Amino acid sequence: MGRSGDRARSRRRLTLAAVATMTVTVALAACGSAAGSGKASTTAKAGGTNLTMWLVTTGPSPANTVVNQAVSSFEKSHPGDTITVDYIENQSYKQKIQLAMGAGNPPTIFWTWGGGPLKQFINAGDVASLGNPAWASDFLPSSLGAVTFNGQLYGVPIEGTQPVFFFYNKTIFSKLGLTFPTTWSGLLSAVSTLKSHGYAPISLANGDQWPGLMYLEYLTDRIGGPGVFQAIELGKTGAWSNPAIIKALTDIQQLTRAGAFQNGYDSLHYSGGGSDALVYSGKAAIQLMGDWDVSQMLGLNKSFVTSGNLGLAPFPAVAGGTGDPADLAGNTASYVAISSKASTSQKTAAEAFMQDVLASSSYAKAIVSAGEVPVIKGATDLFAGQQLASYDQAIYTSVQQAPSFQYSWDQAVPPQEATPMLADLAQVFELTMTPQKFAATMDSQPSGA
């Protein structure tokens, strides 16, 4: 039929086309990142600057409103400058900002949790440095650690601090005549008392995996001090096999073996409110969670919180540990940073936004009313008369007095390590991986950003 010649020819054409396309695509990828120079956002209006800002959405709740109001007041006091805010959902945000940075198409101001991922952006030259501005001293020093690299500031807090505490159902505790333990062994005995009375001692939403990480963060700090994780962050060889980590993991498994966690803890997601429901419905007594849980609980079951049933307690000390029991772990704050692709006028306007708005006490007051704890100095006066004043004050005091505030490990480590760390830690909780195996696996991960 004479088709074989056609076929051979068309196959050759196909191969050529494929090779050409491959070259083009890789070239596109390569150009994309370099081409962004100066092409950041929309053109400026006459006499003013347009900025775009990407934030992680905090839902149809007060916190979004706070930022919107802050933006309006900025636009009023800086006529001609406008900020367009896009709110993006938490999980998808990381993906979107990654893509945008890689294509050279980032917003002027972008949300960041600081730590490892921000460092990657900085190393790629995507973030504008803020230098060492004087107004940065308005913030609590410990809150800026996650966005300071090589002595330079790269981000500014936009949301409050979120340290992790133990929250507990006071009614259950008083019914059993317990006070919240201040030592680890005390916690274990409380667990067995609670269990014998038919309660799930600890509510844990480890379907999300990061709630379990909080235990490891605190135990490691209590046992071996902040230096243990610092070694991991610096990528030192064998840092994960530090005896403090092994002991921390063993202690975690001790909790599991004692039946401390509720049935189905390994599949429960925090986002559905299930772990909170266990506590306020009186099925479970304790939950280790970030301080956002206070406003969460308030929204889910107002009377539980307003009647003073929600107890707050620091993580217990571990006997023989070298860490300071006043150390904290959690999100030091949430931040915004400026893209290096922004024009000079955009950068100036963005810094003005940070200095005039984000560092101001009126902004801090606004986020207090949204149920958060700001990280500026002297915020105590702002708590007066607020619904959650006692919680706010307790949290703020803890942050002020903490010798060290470790920001969440899944933000602090390079992204390649974060995923296996979380997945393997979940297995440790479920007793399907030994502490030693965990340390060995983590140590064998290729390090470096």
Partner 1 sequence: MRRRPASPGQAGQGRGLADLAGLAPAMALFGVFIVVPMLGAIALSLFRWNGLGTPHWAGAANWIQFAHDPLARQALTVTAKVVVLSWVVQTPVSIALGLFIAGRQRYRSVYAALYVLPLLLSTAGIALMWEALLDPNFGGLVALSRSLNLGFLRQNWLGNPALTLYVIIGLIAWQFIPFHTLLYQMGRRQIPDVLYEAARLDGASPAQLFWRVTLPQLRYTIVTSSTLIIVGSLTYFDIVYIMTNGGPGYTTRVLSLDMYQAAFQQNEFGYASVLAVVLGVVGVGIALGLVRFSGFGSMASQQEGAA
Partner 2 sequence: MSRTIVSRPARTAADPARGPAAPSRARLRVSPGRVITCVLATGWLVVVLAPVYYMVLASFRSQGTYLTANPWLPGGGLTLSEYGTVFGAGLGRYLVNSVIITAVCIVLTLSICLGAAFRIVRRSTWAAGASFRILLLGLAIPIQAIIVPLYLLIYKLHLYDTLFALMLTMSAAAVPVSVLIMVSFVRDIPRELIGAMLVDGGTEWTVFRRLIVPLSKPVLATLAIYDGLNVWNNFILPLVLTQSNSVAVLPLGLTKLEGQYAINVPAVMAAVLLSVLPLVVLFIVMRKQVMRSLGSVVMR
Query: Considering beta carbons, is residue 21 or 152 the nearer one to partner 1?
Result: 21
**Binding to partner 1 by residue 372, rule CB under 8 A?**
no
7 binds, among partner 2, partner 1, none (CB under 5 to 8 A by kind): partner 2
Q: Which of 48, 61, 120, 195 binds partner 2 (CB under 8 A)?
A: 61
265 binds, among partner 1, partner 2, none (CB under 5 to 8 A by kind): partner 1
Q: Which of 34, 46, 47, 60 binds partner 2 (CB under 8 A)?
A: 60
**Binding to partner 2 by residue 274, rule CB under 8 A?**
yes
Query: Considering beta carbons, is residue 107 or 316 the nearer one to partner 1?
Result: 107
432 binds, among partner 1, partner 2, none (CB under 5 to 8 A by kind): partner 1
76 binds, among partner 2, partner 1, none (CB under 5 to 8 A by kind): none
Q: With helix as H, strand as E and coil as C, how does the chain read?
A: CCHHHHHHHHHHHHHHHHHHHHHHHHHHHHHHHHHCCCCCCCCCCCCCCEEEEEEECCCCCHHHHHHHHHHHHHHHHCCCCEEEEEEECHHHHHHHHHHHHHHCCCCCEEEECCHHHHHHHHHCCCECCCECCHHHHHECHHHHHHHEECCEECEEEEECEEEEEEEEEHHHHHHCCCCCCCEHHHHHHHHHHHHHCCCEEECCCCCCCHHHHHHHHHHHHHHHCCHHHHHHHCCCCCHHHCHHHHHHHHHHHHHHHCCCECCCCCCCCHHHCHHHHHHHCCCEEEEEEECHHHHHHHHHCHHHHHCCCEEEECCCECCCCCCCCCCEEEECCEEEEEECCCCHHHHHHHHHHHHHHHCCHHHHHHHHHCCCECCECCHHHHHCCCCCHHHHHHHHHHHHHCCCEEECHHHHCCHHHHHHHHHHHHHHHCCCCCHHHHHHHHHCCCCCC
**Binding to partner 1 by residue 282, rule CB under 8 A?**
no
441 binds, among partner 2, partner 1, none (CB under 5 to 8 A by kind): none
Q: Which of 84, 87, 94, 241 binds partner 1 (CB under 8 A)?
A: 94
Q: How far is the CB of 441 from partner 1 (least distance, A)?
A: 10
**Binding to partner 2 by residue 257, rule CB under 8 A?**
no
- How many residues lie near partner 1 (CB under 8 A)? 46
Residues making contact with partner 2 (CB under 8 A)? 3, 6-7, 10, 25, 28-29, 32, 54, 56-61, 86-90, 92, 95-96, 99, 103, 105, 270-274, 277, 280-281, 290, 292, 296, 299-301
